[in-house]
Amino acid sequence: MNFQRIRALTLDLDDTLWPVWPAIERAERTLHDWLSQHAVATATRFDVPALRALRDDVARRYPQWAHDLSALRRESLRAALQEAGDDAALAEPAFEVFFTARHQVDLFPDVLEALRRLSSAYPLLALTNGNADLARVGLAHSFRGALSAREFGVGKPDPRIFVEACRRLGCEAADVLHIGDDWALDVEGARAAGLQTLWVQRRPAPGEAVAGSVANLLAVADLLGC
């Protein structure tokens, strides 16, 4: 890896800056509590696991929305409300309840200091398949911007989203370092587009850590000398 050539960084969000499933599970419980007050039949018909199963079923039926997690969640809520006999128009406020709670994330302990160091030395662009909003999380000040699969129309590992990220940063692909936790989506996808990569393995299995991997984002800042 040619660290001296790096001019900008792209960063994954979910499971790189925060653990995503605790936030999703908390948001799903918050959503069900709201439904219990505003759409009683739906809350009775669908407990939290049933709502998740319905959301997964919607994802299978609408593969064209694979890049748009918000659309999948909205449609699953509409379907649940309709099936239970509640007002399907409640899908939008129900989604907003979920979406607000989804942003109540618990950052990994290294993240704030690492972002301070990294953003002082490089322009950062968030690159995500998820629907997290940096402003809602409170991290927008550390980034030049964000590029999501929902906005772009395709997600990682498609090389096109990495190429677009580089275009927005005004850099050649070889001058950009992508950092993320998912080997297939982040590492293989970025490499296919010509970017340099670091794989964040916070809890590697014994013997799993490989060259080109780091334990956390502070290790990235150390490697880059910032």
Q: Where do the domains of the chain lie?
A: 3-19+107-224, 21-102
pTM given for the model:
0.91
Q: Given 1.10.1040.10, 1.20.120.1600, 1.10.10.10, 1.20.1090.10, which CATH number is that of 21-102? A: 1.20.120.1600
Tell me what pLDDT residue 209 has. 58
CA distances from 52 to 43, 46, 162, 217 (A): 13, 9, 30, 31
If you ran DSSP here, which 8-state letter would residue 215 be given? S
Residue 212 has pLDDT above 80, yes or no: no
Share of the chain above pLDDT 90, in %: 93
Residue 210 has pLDDT above 80, yes or no: no
Spatial contact of 180 and 16, defined as CB atoms under 8 Å apart? yes
HSE-CB at 132 with a 13 A cutoff on CA atoms is 30
Rg, Å, the chain Cα set:
19
Mean pLDDT of 99-120: 98
Mean pLDDT of 56-80: 96
Query: Same CATH fold, 21-102 and 3-19+107-224?
Result: no
Fold of the domain built from segment(s) 3-19+107-224: Rossmann fold (3.40.50)
Burial class for 44, CB neighbours closer than 10 Å (0-12, 13-18, 19+): exposed
Spatial contact of 129 and 148, defined as CB atoms under 8 Å apart? yes
**4 versus 180: which is more confidently predicted?**
180
Tell me what pLDDT residue 4 has. 80
Residue 216 has pLDDT above 70, yes or no: yes
